Amino acid sequence: MNREATDLPIAPAGEKPTLRSLAEATGFSIATVSRALADDPRIAAKTRALVAEAAALAGYVPDRAARRLRTGRTQVVTLLLNTQHEFLGFTHEFLSGMTEALQGTGYSVNVVPDDVGDDRLAPVRNILRNHLADGVVFTRTEAFDPRVRLLMENDFPFVSHGRTEFTTPHPFVDFDNEAFARQAVQRLVGKGRTRLSLILPEDRFTFTQHLRYGFVSEARAAGVDHEIVDGVTLDSPAARIAETLRASRLGDNPPDGYVCVGEVTALVTLSALADSDAVLGRDADVFAKRASPIFDNIRPRIDTVFEDLRETGRKMAEMLLRRMQGEDPATLTHMLMPDFERLHHSPDTHA
């Protein structure tokens, strides 16, 4: 019945501290200890302090399984991972950002493949049915993404990377791809380029439309020729993209300005140019979006704009936390702007 903090027993080496052991150590009941740790105002302040001290001393950490069983809350957030396609370094940066934001919150990150088998919704259904997580995060969002629909129907917390065209608002984090496309066009036009070319992601992704709109309307405004490459998408095999680009360079009036949405596409474009003996800066220019630092080390240098995926992951985790705490989904949206500060003007690393 020891209630003096000074002579509490030290943590026994072998067995892990539990509410019961804390109760025995402090002389209070399990219920009181539980409430005290939750800072319940119904518990006397002195008691709360005593219990807190005992818990710290013993290194008490609540058992996740027990809490989860009792409350139904898993303290887990799931990332739906597309295991096939990736922007270079995407997964790494994104995950790092997520874990960073979740650090110290008690939530842990669970990774589930989003593209196995025929039923595209199976992973989400599985999570919903068996309450495998308290929230979900995913990428490659489509205009009418079935995952979004299903999650909204079930009022389940989630944050999508990318917007949808559903009327009901939902939390998302997105990169302003329209602004990127516009800027890319402006840059190329500024260099005197008049025949622009763009390879788009697959049509079903929402950001494809944003890219298209930004590209087309800005090119029209500038009064320059522009084409969206037919027959291939960002997800096409690199070899096929290369093939298509090389073929296009054999035409009468090949493009002289390339907007590249991904790093791989940019590299393919560069090699297609090299393969057809076109010289960068003379025959054509390339403007690309980058998410990794590799372009710093590639010759010839090209202009790039940075999409911060670590920040994206961080923001998405933050919004998910707030959504799970019951904040209004409609307000939980965030747009990342093309990083003009860190715009990459082919810095000379000799300096």
Name the binder of 89 from a second copy, DNA, none, CB < 5-8 A by kind. a second copy
Dist. CA 27–CA 2, nearest whole Å: 6
Listed residue (312, 278, 26, 271) closest to 177, CA to CA: 312
Task: Select 8 or 188, whichever has its Cβ closest to DNA.
Answer: 8
220-279 residues near DNA, rule: CB under 7 A: none
DSSP H or E run through 257: strand 257-260
Q: Is 135 helix (H, G, I), strand (E, B) or coil?
A: strand
> Can you tell me which of 35, 140, 210, 314 binds DNA, judged by CB under 7 A?
35
Stretch that binds a second copy, among 148-156, 159-167, 215-223, 242-250 (CB under 8 A): 242-250
Asked whether position 31 contacts DNA by CB under 7 A, the answer is: yes
Contact between 167 and DNA (CB under 7 A)? no
Q: Which stretch binds DNA (CB under 7 A): 42-50, 151-159, 196-204, 316-324?
A: 42-50
| For DNA, the closer CB: 20 or 204 | 20
- What does 335 bind: a second copy, DNA, none (CB cut-off 5 to 8 Å by kind)? none
Q: CA-CA distance, 283 to 299, in Å (whole number)?
A: 16
CB of 48 to DNA, least distance (A): 8
Beta strands 76-81 and 172-175, pairing class: unpaired
Q: Which residues contact 102 (CB under 8 A, 6 or more apart)?
A: 77, 108, 109, 317, 321
Residue the block writes with tokens 């990377």: 161
DSSP string, 80-123: EE-SS---TTHHHHHHHHHHHHHTTSS-EEEEEES--SS-TTHH
Report how far apart, in Å, the C-alpha atoms of 242 and of each of 103, 248, 268, 297 are: 42, 10, 6, 21
The site for DNA, by CB under 7 A, has a size of 26
24 binds DNA, rule: CB under 7 A: no
Residues that bind a second copy (CB under 8 A): 16, 59, 61, 63-66, 68-69, 74, 81, 83, 86, 88-92, 95-96, 99-100, 103, 108-113, 116, 129-130, 132, 238-239, 242-243, 246, 263-264, 267-268, 270-271, 274-275, 292-294, 296-299, 349-350
